[in-house]
Structure 1
Amino acid sequence: MIRIVVVDDEALIRSGFSLILNAAEGIEVVASVTGGQALEAVSVHAPDVVLLDVRMPDVDGLTVLRRLMEQPQRPVVAMLTTFDSDEYIAQALSSGASGYLLKDTDPDDLAPLVRSLHEGAVVLASKIVPAIVEGYLGHHRSLAAATAHDVRLNERERDVLLLLAEGLSNKGIGGRLHLSEGTVKDHVSAVLAKLAVDNRVQAALWAQRVGLVAGGGGR
């Protein structure tokens, strides 16, 4: 069972997300709270995934995100926004968010996206990928200046990076490349080290920026 905490200042958004997710097999919303209640709810319920609003009147979503990332057993966090171009995107990804979703996500897509997050996949709303790439890289000039020629990935690492950039989890990558999850994890760690990035989201953005996959600056 994937345990979810939904954090949003709007009761209608919280109830809507909870209704959709609780109807999905293998998913349970264990708490639906405002920003000011988020840290306590996460501490009490120990969720696997937190869906966190970026802009809330009682507390900044980015502040909540950073506090969650300081916890020993930190959950996977995906940011929620109503905007397809948000100045907080770069800060959220830099602070450890594993995904960025629009609140108008198709209800049929929500549960699969949550499952992907839980499996370790990169989950970014397609409508905001260009803004994510440009906004994130604009805050990280050294990453923006890198090219595919600057980084020496072996063939297997390159394959793993391409699938990682498609949003696949370690399990999904292993299935495509006929590798164990442990082996994939080792390859992902090597890729992150060679790219000098902190997480899978940043690696995916790098791949888009240098044109290894569609959707970013290489389009």
Structure 2
Amino acid sequence: MVIDDEALVRSGFELILGLDPEIDVVGTSDGRSAHEDIGRLRPDVVLLDIRMPHINGLEVLGRALQLEQAPVVAMLTTFDVDEYVVEALHLGASGFLLKDTDPHQLAMLVKTLAAGGVVLSPAVTRSVVSGYLPSREGSADAEAVARLSERERGVIYLASLGKSNREIAEIIHQGVGTVKDDMSAILAKLGVGTRVQAALIAQRAGIADPRR
């Protein structure tokens, strides 16, 4: 489902995503009826504009994630730096992407979200990692990442690339349950609540593929 106050954005995303036979755009909204539409249509993935004149995207995000069958939500923004990005991440957004994302990549990003991965637009990520996300100094992040086991560092490295638990399991030759346990341990050790926040910390700490 695509939620944006601009009809051109909604129709553009719907048209591009509709070309992929594996994706069904169940609906679009300008925000005013977004919560009711999400509850009625039960989308797996929601692309949600952060800034809308009729309703704050953060309010839609918070209410959507409280639903019994909560969708995966990624925030849409036109800005390389948006002060709402940080709050959206803390509320539980699974990522963020710019509205001018390459159309050829859009369907792949939606599938990544549906599979449980994270989507971090490089342009926005650079701003967040460089210090826009208020938390700890880079050295503190590096120390936290250093407490991870080698396999946990591999898991969070792959998660920072947008890989889902299933994809990570295939790459490291472990079961999905093991990866879920590793991810829970990673969140606890890094002191964060979501894999997006963990991925950002890993990127800010300069984590590299431990398999190399």
Q: After TM superposition, is the score higher than 0.5?
A: yes
Q: 1:79 aligns with which of 75, 78, 82?
A: 75
Between stretches 205-214 and 25-34, larger displacement belongs to 205-214
Q: CA deviation at 1:152?
A: 1.9
Residue 123 of structure 2 aligns with which residue?
A: 127
Deviations 1:9-41 (A, max 9, x none): 111110110011111021111111111111011
May I ask how many residue pairs the two structures share in their alignment? 207
1:65 maps to a residue whose letter is L
Are the equivalent residues in 1 in contact too, given 2:48–2:74 (CA < 8 A)? yes
Query: Do 1:54 and 1:60's aligned partners in 2 also have CA atoms closer than 8 Å?
Result: yes
Aligned-partner residue type, residue 140 of structure 2: A
Q: Which residue of the other structure, out of 168, 178, 184, is the alignment partner of 1:183?
A: 178
What secondary structure sits across from 2:27 in the alignment? strand
- Secondary structure class of the residue paired with 1:30: coil
What is the alpha-carbon distance in structure 1 between the residues aligned to residue 9 and residue 141 of structure 2? 41
Two-structure CA RMSD over aligned residues (Å):
1.6
- Deviations, residues 171-211 of structure 1 (Å, cap 9, x unaligned): 11111101121111111111111111101101011111222
Distance 1:89 1:174 in 2: 29
Which residue number in structure 1 is paired with residue 141 of structure 2?
147
How far residue 132 of structure 1 moved from its aligned partner, in angstroms, is 2.0
Q: Which amino acid aligns with 1:48?
A: D
Residues 98-137 of structure 1: matches in 2 within 5 Å?
A: 98-133=94-129, 134-136=131-133
The answer for the alignment partner of 2:42 in structure 1 is: 46
Instruction: Please report how far the alpha carbon of residue 62 of structure 1 lies from its aligned counterpart in structure 2 after TM superposition.
Output: 0.8
Tell me, yes or no, if structure 1 residue 212 matches structure 2 residue 211: no
Of all paired residues, the percent bearing the same amino acid is: 53
Unaligned runs of 5+ in 2: none
Distance 1:110 1:147, change over 3 A: closer
1:184 partner amino acid: V
Instruction: Please give the alpha-carbon distance, in whole angstroms, between the structure 1 residues aligned to 2:47 and 2:67.
Output: 16
What is the SS of the residue equivalent to 1:158?
Answer: helix
Judge conservation of contact 1:89–1:135 (CA < 8 Å) in 2. no
Instruction: Identify the residue that residue 13 of structure 1 maps to in structure 2.
Output: 9
2:21 aligned partner: 25
Structure 1 SS opposite 2:32:
helix
Distance 1:76 1:48 in 2: 6
Deviation at 1:146, TM superposition (A): 2.1
Q: Which moved more, 1:191-200 or 1:148-157?
A: 148-157
Task: Please say if residues 39 and 67 of structure 2, whose CA atoms lie closer than 8 Å, have aligned partners that are also in contact.
Answer: no
Name the residue aligned to 1:217: none
Counterpart CA distance in 1 for 2:89 and 2:139 is: 18
CA distance in 2, matches of 1:8, 1:145: 38
